[in-house]
């Protein structure tokens, strides 16, 4: 943001990796534009530029502003995809359309949601959170009471452990980033530190776990380490400034940044302090990672470092050779993103992407890589590192360790596996069409 007027740098379009990847420093200063790298704009003859053509919307009084505004009718495709649109008696998933979004915030209307028994219609005047078990004084909290406490505001991603499950297929499915990775979103959450509430209740030093239970009809419950509760857990009551969405836990949810999505228990009604984990259905039957050989991990809380390219990606079309910005999101349950590399040649060579500041703990970081597409086939990939030194595994490494699913099942929902965090590859052909490939 610090380009100084009239003091542009010498154009710098050094290539940093194969197939047209440009040094990210070209994103600063006048490099890209002055060197004519863009070519995306239309040129106008001097005469044609004035007067401008007045479209109908410039000639008539527009519509009335509504109390709550919604997206333009031209954005009707920017919606969550639904796995259970008729509300049948089973799980339902609503996936975030990452290939149609940008920046880092997921707007509330489009935040992903999974519900096991539909979305409960909770009256905040009646709903209570009880903290009990191994505490000196059991306490209960309404939304109004929590609102009086000191609040913490932070960006955090929430990701279902089953996000990206379609990537376990041994054949790449021809679907969008929404279908592959739509069970992760990123929002600004505001809530009370869980440590404040546990301190007030006087948690017993021998209590090592909390059973967190939701008020939905399945009483979804998970065991949460007390250590995590004191590290950075919140009882969140606001999402991007307004009270939580009904599908995201209204009126209150647990937020355990970086941990499996369903540990962020929605509609939170109970935290019971105990001295051992509860081994609930949702941590033994469901959400247990199956490993090759049939064993499972007992607990696997942390969502690993991951990235995927959203632009361009499946569903997009490159109209012509020329300049494009390769862009996507990276995040890690272990902390901040340290580095993202991008390849345009299927991993033969890599260049370092620019990270949009501020790079925040356990939150989306948008990365960008300038790219000149020469009209020849290319394979686009991203690979992320976090500040704890974790690296997003290559696909061959990942499949060797974690297995893959033999049948390319029709519905991505039927894949059994969890915690996919390997690389996504988009192949651009000479016509600008984009396919999902394994490379």
Closer Cβ to its own copies, 52 or 410, answer by number: 52
If we measure between CA atoms, which residue out of 329, 10, 374 comes closest to residue 181?
Answer: 329
Closer Cβ to its own copies, 227 or 435, answer by number: 227
Cis peptide before 251 (omega within 30 of 0): yes
Q: How far is the CB of 185 from its own copies (least distance, A)?
A: 9
Helix (H, G, I), strand (E, B) or coil at 79: coil
Supply 106's token pair: 């997921």
Cis peptide before 401 (omega within 30 of 0): no
* C-alpha–C-alpha distance, residues 218 and 262, integer Å: 13
362: left (phi over 0), alpha (psi -120 to 50) or beta: left
Closer Cβ to its own copies, 116 or 290, answer by number: 116
Closer Cβ to its own copies, 75 or 397, answer by number: 75
Closer Cβ to its own copies, 148 or 285, answer by number: 148
Q: How far is the CB of 153 from its own copies (least distance, A)?
A: 4
* C-alpha–C-alpha distance, residues 58 and 56, integer Å: 5
If we measure between CA atoms, which residue out of 391, 392, 338 comes closest to residue 365?
Answer: 338
Q: What is the number of residues in the chain?
A: 439
Q: How far is the CB of 45 from its own copies (least distance, A)?
A: 7
Residues near 4 by beta carbon (within 8 Å), at least 6 away in sequence? none
Closer Cβ to its own copies, 119 or 342, answer by number: 119
Closer Cβ to its own copies, 353 or 439, answer by number: 353
Q: How far is the CB of 334 from its own copies (least distance, A)?
A: 15
Q: How far is the CB of 297 from its own copies (least distance, A)?
A: 24
Closer Cβ to its own copies, 127 or 181, answer by number: 127
* C-alpha–C-alpha distance, residues 152 and 77, integer Å: 34
Supply 83's token pair: 């796995």
Q: How far is the CB of 312 from its own copies (least distance, A)?
A: 9
Residues near 126 by beta carbon (within 8 Å), at least 6 away in sequence? none
- Phi and psi at 256, nearest 5°, equal -115, 85
* C-alpha–C-alpha distance, residues 236 and 168, integer Å: 33
* C-alpha–C-alpha distance, residues 183 and 165, integer Å: 10
Alpha helices by DSSP H, listed for 172-298, are: 177-181, 194-201, 226-231, 281-284
Q: How far is the CB of 232 from its own copies (least distance, A)?
A: 5
Q: How far is the CB of 242 from its own copies (least distance, A)?
A: 5
């Amino acid at each position: 943001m610090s380009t100084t007027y009239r003091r542009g740098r010498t154009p710098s379009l050094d290539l940093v990796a194969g197939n047209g990847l440009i040094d990210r420093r070209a994103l600063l200063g006048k490099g890209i534009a002055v060197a004519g790298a863009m070519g995306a704009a239309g040129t106008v003859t001097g005469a044609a530029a004035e007067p401008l053509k007045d479209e109908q919307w410039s000639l008539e009084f527009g519509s009335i502003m509504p109390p709550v505004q919604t997206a333009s009718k031209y954005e009707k495709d920017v919606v969550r995809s639904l796995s259970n649109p008729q509300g049948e008696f089973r799980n339902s998933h609503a996936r975030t359309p990452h290939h149609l979004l940008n920046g880092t915030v997921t707007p509330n209307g489009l935040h992903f949601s999974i519900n096991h028994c539909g979305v409960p219609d909770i009256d905040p005047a009646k709903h209570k959170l009880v903290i009990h078990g191994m505490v000196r004084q059991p306490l209960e909290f309404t939304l109004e009471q929590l609102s009086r406490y000191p609040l913490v505001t932070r960006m955090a991603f929430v990701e279902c452990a089953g996000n990206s499950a379609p990537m376990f297929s041994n054949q790449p499915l021809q679907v969008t980033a929404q279908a592959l990775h739509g069970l992760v979103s990123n929002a600004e959450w505001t809530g009370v530190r869980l440590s404040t509430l546990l301190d007030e209740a006087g948690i017993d030093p021998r209590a090592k776990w909390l059973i967190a239970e939701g008020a939905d009809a399945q009483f979804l419950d998970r065991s949460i380490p007390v250590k995590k509760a004191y590290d950075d857990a919140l009882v969140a009551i606001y999402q991007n400034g307004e009270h939580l969405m009904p599908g995201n836990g209204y009126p209150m949810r647990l937020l355990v940044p970086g941990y499996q999505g369903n540990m962020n228990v929605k509609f939170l009604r109970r935290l019971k302090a105990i001295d051992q984990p509860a081994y609930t259905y949702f941590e033994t039957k469901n959400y247990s990672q199956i490993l090759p050989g049939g064993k499972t991990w007992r607990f696997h809380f942390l969502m690993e470092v991951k990235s995927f390219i959203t632009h361009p990606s499946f569903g997009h079309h490159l109209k012509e050779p020329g300049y494009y910005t390769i862009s996507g999101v990276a995040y890690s349950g272990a902390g901040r993103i340290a580095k993202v590399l991008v390849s345009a040649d299927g991993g033969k060579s890599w260049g370092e992407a620019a990270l949009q500041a501020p790079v925040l703990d356990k939150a989306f970081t948008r990365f960008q890589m300038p790219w000149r597409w020469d009209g020849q086939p290319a394979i686009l990939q991203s690979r992320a590192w976090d500040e704890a030194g974790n690296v997003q595994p290559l696909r061959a490494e990942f499949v060797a360790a974690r297995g893959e699913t033999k049948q390319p099942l029709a519905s991505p929902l039927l894949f059994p596996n969890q915690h996919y965090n390997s690389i996504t590859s988009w192949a651009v052909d000479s016509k600008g069409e984009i396919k999902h490939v394994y490379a």
